[in-house]
Each structure stands twice: as C-alpha cells, then as structure tokens.
Amino acid sequence: MDELNRIAFLLERQLAPSYRVEAFRRAARALVEVDVAAVAAAGRLRSVPGVGERIESIVRDVLDGGRSEYRLRLEEEVGQQAQSPLQAALRGDLHVHTIWSDGGAEMIEMVETAIDLGHEYVAITDHSPSLKIARGLSIERLEEQFLLVEDVQRQVGDRIRILTGSETDILLDGSLDWPEDHLRRLDIVVGSVHNKLRIPPDEMTPRLVEAMQNPYLDILGHPTGRMGGKARSSYDHELVFAAAAHFGVALEINSRPERLDLQPDLVRLATSLGCNFVISTDAHAPGQMMWQGNGVAIAEEAGLDQDRILNALSADDLLAARGRP
C-alpha cells in the first residue's frame, strides 16, 4: 500500500508522534498480505490487523480512484510548510488571465485556484483592446467582465476578494490602452509593452517615462520584455525606475519561467532608486498560479525587503498604496 506509506512519510515530515506514523506502516504491511480488492468487496477490510475506520476509508478512496482525500490534504499542508517565509507572506496574485483574453480557463476556475493556494485576493487582468493577437477586450467586453467579477464574487462569498484589473498595453506614445473613465474603475492596472518592444532606447525611455506619469498606472508588467533569457527592450533603467518610484508605479517580478523579469541585478538597481514591487504569476491557466515561487526566488536572490512588495499587503492597504488621485 504505497498510499499508506506515503502518508506515513508525510506525517513524519510534519513531526507527528511516531505511534501515528507507525500505525500507517503497520497497516500497509498487513494489507500487502491480502487481496485488498477482494477483501474490500467482501466488506471485511476491518478484519485486517491495524485497519481501523480511517485507514479503511483511505483504502476505499484508493480503490475508487487512486488517491485519498487524507493524503491530498497532508501533501498540501507539507507543501505549505516547505514555502519560504517570503512566499508565505504573499497574500495575492495581481496578474492573472482568463478565457476572456488569451487564458485557458474561466474566471471562476482561476479564482477557485487562488482560494486553494490560500490567497486573500486575486486581480483578473485580461488584455486591452490593442492586443488583438491575445483577444484583448473591447470596452463593451470590459464592461461585461466587471459584471462577471461581481457575479463570481457572489459565488465565492468572502473566501477571497476579486479585484478588477487589466493588463493594458503601453502604446507607442506612452499612453495606456483604455480611456481614463475605465482606468479609474479598474482596481489594478498593469501596464505592459507588447508591441514595438525593440524600439531604440532613446525612444523607449521617454515612452516608459510617459507611461509612469499616468496616475492610473499601478504596475509596470514584465518590465524588460525578457524572454528565453534575454531582455528584449533596452532603455535607461535608472531614469525609468526613478520615474516609477517618483510616480508610485510598482515594478513587476514576473514568475513565468520563460520571462523571470526583472532579474536580480535590476531589482537591486530599482530598490536603490526607491521602487516598490509586486511578485505576480501572469498565469494563463490554473496550474500556473503555482509559479509564484519563481518570482520569490528572484526577490530572495536580490535581497529584496518584504516591505517593498505590495502583494504582501492586505487588499485594503494595497489599494491605498497605489497612489491614485
């Protein structure tokens, strides 16, 4: 019974009393001596030495489908224990896509996953109109999505707070891709460069500095366009990061394995200039919301102080920290 041995192992990791651990190993040894399926079918599992009510129900779960609820819960508890203190301090994810733009799952699935991960809040940040290739929302679709957020919030109750959001394109002139009225209504505005991201530094620097001055921009998404180990946008980092610090725009540490942007050297530079940060997953599917540890590793390597990470704040403090007019 691998399942029972695994449970014993997980209990050991949790430093459970050894008699509890040994009870699972003893039952596992006894069960290998019998035809478990046949004994279970005959309703006689409890006649096997060491098998009580709990172990019987675990064995039945395994026979039904492979894994017991009890083991899954332990795996989760042990997984959380293994988190670094910084990861454990993060309270939400501020960059998440759904099927409304180029994500692969419905909003409710992303929100349920955020709940499972223990988040207190999640911002839904689908793409803006210009990014047609990623099915950026129209104004009408954004209006509809505001209603869906309310609806999903009703469904999940107070288990999590859903923030409205957008990953809006930073256009060539540095403006954002929504009218001011809509920017104002979004809880979280992530601004990212997706088009013309390789323009010369003497054009990219003023473009980004212009964006930083937009009072509704909260976060600069994947700041250097890094992909596959290489930054794709070049600009005067000092000038842009100083503008971000001055105008209260946080820099995103993007946890996607192919991005990992910013890198630690730039995190250190931005820290020295007074910037704040967020650690986001940019998840396009539920499982990707578990990538936050990648961003945490960057922050730890850079020696980033938790005080500078806005998604370690409560939702209310986070919203207050945006520096909106």
The interface region with Zn ion, picked from 33-41, 46-54, 189-197, 292-300 by CB under 5 A, is 189-197
Residue number, 68 or 255, with CB nearest to Zn ion: 255
The interface region with Zn ion, picked from 231-239, 267-275, 280-288, 303-311 by CB under 5 A, is 280-288
The interface region with Zn ion, picked from 82-90, 142-150, 159-167, 240-248 by CB under 5 A, is 159-167
Q: Is 177 in the site for Zn ion (CB under 5 A)?
A: no
The correct pick among 3, 93, 167, 177 for binding Zn ion (CB under 5 A) is 167
Buried b (16+ CB within 10 A) or exposed e, 5-37: ebbbebbeeeeeeeeebebbbbbbebbeeeebe
DSSP E strand boundaries for 36-183: 92-96, 121-127, 161-169
User: Distance between CA atoms of 284 and 181, rounded to whole angstroms?
Assistant: 27
Phi-psi region of 160 (alpha: psi -120 to 50; beta: other; left: phi over 0): beta
The interface region with Zn ion, picked from 32-40, 110-118, 160-168, 250-258 by CB under 5 A, is 160-168
Q: Which two tokens stand for residue 49?
A: 């030495």
C-beta of 90: minimal distance to Zn ion in Å? 18
Closest CA to 272 of 302, 252, 310: 302
Give me the DSSP letters along 204-259: HHHHHHHHHT-TT--EE-STT--BTTB------HHHHHHHHHHHT-EEEEE--TTT
User: Distance between CA atoms of 286 and 245, rounded to whole angstroms?
Assistant: 32
The correct pick among 130, 192, 233, 311 for binding Zn ion (CB under 5 A) is 192
Instruction: Taking the CA atoms of 115, 119, 123 and 126 in sequence, report the sign of the dihedral they define.
Output: negative
Q: Which two tokens stand for residue 284?
A: 């396009």
Residue number, 177 or 282, with CB nearest to Zn ion: 282
Strand partners, 164: 124
Q: Is 93 in the site for Zn ion (CB under 5 A)?
A: no
Q: Is 282 in the site for Zn ion (CB under 5 A)?
A: yes
C-beta of 96: minimal distance to Zn ion in Å? 8
The interface region with Zn ion, picked from 105-113, 137-145, 186-194, 272-280 by CB under 5 A, is 186-194
C-beta of 86: minimal distance to Zn ion in Å? 22
C-beta of 196: minimal distance to Zn ion in Å? 14
Cis peptide before 63 (omega within 30 of 0): no
C-beta of 165: minimal distance to Zn ion in Å? 10
Residue number, 74 or 149, with CB nearest to Zn ion: 149
Residue number, 167 or 177, with CB nearest to Zn ion: 167
Q: Which residues bind Zn ion (CB under 5 A)?
A: 167, 192, 282
